[in-house]
C-alpha cells in the first residue's frame, strides 16, 4: 500500500491529468491501511491497537509512519481534509515518542534493533507534515539528520548504517546493498546533498556493471546464487531488491545511463509478460520486489511534490 501510494503521488505530478484519479486511489489505500484487518499485525506485536493507544509509550513506529506518509501524499496531490485529525495525531505521537528516545529512534517491533530505513519513513512523514503545520516538527527532522550524518556513518563505506541498537551504538552487521539503496531513496525526500553523497557511495561500493547491471547485496564477497530473508533471491551477485530501490535515486538524480541499465536488468531478470493493455514482471513477487515498488522508484522524478 505505501509504495503504491507513493507511485500514485509521482504519477499525478508527472501526468497532472491523472491527479483526480490518484487522489481517489490513495484515499482507498489509506482506508485499507486504517482497517482493523491491516492494524491487526502491528497490534499483535505491541499488544495494543496502534490507533487506540495514542498515550502509550510503545513505539508502533512502522505502522504510524507508513500511514502518516500516505496521508501526506494524499494531501500533496490535492486530497481533502478527511484525514487531517488522524494525520495530526499520527505525527504528534511519532514526534513525542521519538523525543522520549535517547537517540530519536524507535523500534519497528519489540525486541528488535533500530531499522534505519524504517525510521526514515517516520522522518519523511514528519518532514512532510511540517509543510502543513508551520514547521511544527522540523527541528526533530533536522536533529535526526544531524545525528545520522555525524554518528551513524559506517567507517568502511561512508554509508549510513542500516541497523543500530536502541542507544545508537554500532551493531556487528554487514552493510547491505538492499538497505543502503532504500536509504538513498528516502533521503531524496529530505536532504538532496546528503542523498547525492550516499548515492555516489552506494554505486562505489555496491554497483556491478556488465550484462546484468545492478546493486550487489554484499560489497565484500561474491554470491552468485543465494537467498536472503530481506533481499530475496541473490542472482549473479545482484540483489533484486537493492537494484529496484536504486532506481529511486537514479531517477531522482537523472542518472540516465545507470537508470537505463537498471531497467534493462529488470527486464532480463524480471521477465516481463504482456497482457491485454497490461505489462507485469513475472518474477516480481518471488524476488520480494513488487511492481508497486518498481513503479514508485522509476517515477521518483525530481520535483517538489508540494508545489
pLDDT digits (tens, 9 = 90+) for 167-193: 777 777 889 999 999 999 999 999 999
Residue 279: pLDDT band (50, 70, 90) is low
CA distance 75 to 53: 25
Q: What is the pLDDT of residue 81?
A: 97
Residue 157: pLDDT band (50, 70, 90) is very high
Q: What is the mean pLDDT of residues 263-284?
A: 59
List the single range of 84-88, 194-198, 281-285, 294-298 with lowest mean pLDDT: 281-285
Q: What is the mean pLDDT of residues 221-227?
A: 65
271 has pLDDT over 60: no
Whole-number percent of the chain with pLDDT over 70 = 86
CA distance 235 to 88: 43
Of 63, 70, 55, 86, give the one whose Cα is nearest residue 25.
70
The per-residue pLDDT of the chain, averaged, comes to 89
- Residue 284: how many other CB atoms lie within 10 Å: 20
CA distance 21 to 220: 45
Q: What is the pLDDT of residue 283?
A: 46
Residue 282: pLDDT band (50, 70, 90) is very low
List the single range of 94-103, 176-185, 229-238 with lowest mean pLDDT: 229-238
Of 168, 169, 187, give the one whose Cα is nearest residue 179.
187
Q: What is the pLDDT of residue 96?
A: 98
195 has pLDDT over 70: yes
CB 151 within 8 A of CB 168: yes
265 has pLDDT over 50: yes
259 has pLDDT over 90: yes
Cell readout for 90 is 499520527
Q: What is the mean pLDDT of residues 59-63?
A: 98
List the single range of 36-50, 230-244, 267-281 with lowest mean pLDDT: 267-281
The domain locations on the chain are: 1-173, 205-307
CA dihedral in degrees (287, 288, 292, 295; nearest 10)? -50
Strands 272-274 and 232-235: unpaired
Residue 14 exposed, middle or buried by CB count within 10 Å (0-12, 13-18, 19+): exposed
Q: What are phi and psi of 193, to 5 degrees?
A: -65, -45
Of 302, 295, 268, give the one whose Cα is nearest residue 282.
268
Cell readout for 130 is 511540517
Amino acid at each position: 500500500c505505501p509504495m503504491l501510494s507513493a507511485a500514485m503521488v509521482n504519477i499525478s505530478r508527472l501526468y497532472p491529468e491523472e491527479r483526480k484519479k490518484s487522489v481517489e486511489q490513495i484515499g482507498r489505500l489509506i482506508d485499507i491501511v486504517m482497517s482493523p484487518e491491516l492494524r491487526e499485525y502491528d497490534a499483535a506485536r505491541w499488544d495494543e491497537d496502534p490507533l487506540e493507544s495514542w498515550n502509550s509509550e510503545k513505539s508502533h513506529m512502522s505502522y504510524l509512519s507508513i500511514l502518516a506518509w500516505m496521508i501526506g501524499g494524499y494531501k500533496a496531490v490535492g486530497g481533502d481534509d478527511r484525514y487531517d485529525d488522524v494525520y495530526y495525531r499520527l505525527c504528534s505521537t511519532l514526534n513525542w515518542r521519538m523525543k522520549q528516545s535517547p537517540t530519536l529512534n524507535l523500534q519497528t517491533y519489540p525486541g528488535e534493533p533500530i531499522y534505519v530505513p524504517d525510521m526514515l519513513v517516520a522522518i519523511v512523514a514528519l518532514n512532510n507534515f511540517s509543510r502543513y503545520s508551520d514547521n511544527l516538527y522540523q527541528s526533530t527532522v533536522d536533529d535526526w539528520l544531524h545525528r545520522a550524518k555525524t554518528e551513524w556513518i559506517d567507517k568502511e563505506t561512508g554509508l549510513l548504517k542500516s541497523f543500530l541498537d536502541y542507544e545508537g551504538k554500532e551493531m556487528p552487521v554487514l552493510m547491505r546493498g538492499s538497505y543502503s539503496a532504500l536509504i538513498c531513496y528516502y533521503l531524496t525526500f529530505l536532504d538532496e546533498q546528503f542523498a547525492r553523497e550516499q548515492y555516489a557511495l552506494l554505486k562505489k561500493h555496491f554497483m556491478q556493471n556488465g550484462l546484468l547491471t545492478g546493486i550487489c547485496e554484499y560489497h565484500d564477497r561474491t554470491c552468485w546464487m543465494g537467498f536472503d530473508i530481506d533481499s530475496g533471491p541473490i542472482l549473479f551477485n545482484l540483489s533484486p531488491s537493492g537494484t529496484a530501490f536504486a532506481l529511486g535515486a537514479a531517477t531522482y538524480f537523472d542518472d540516465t545511463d545507470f537508470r537505463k541499465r537498471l531497467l534493462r536488468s529488470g527486464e532480463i531478470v524480471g521477465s516481463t509478460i504482456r497482457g491485454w493493455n497490461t505489462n507485469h514482471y513475472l518474477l516480481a513477487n518471488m524476488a520480494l520486489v513488487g511492481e508497486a515498488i518498481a513503479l514508485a522508484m522509476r517515477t521518483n522524478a525530481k520535483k517538489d511534490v508540494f508545489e
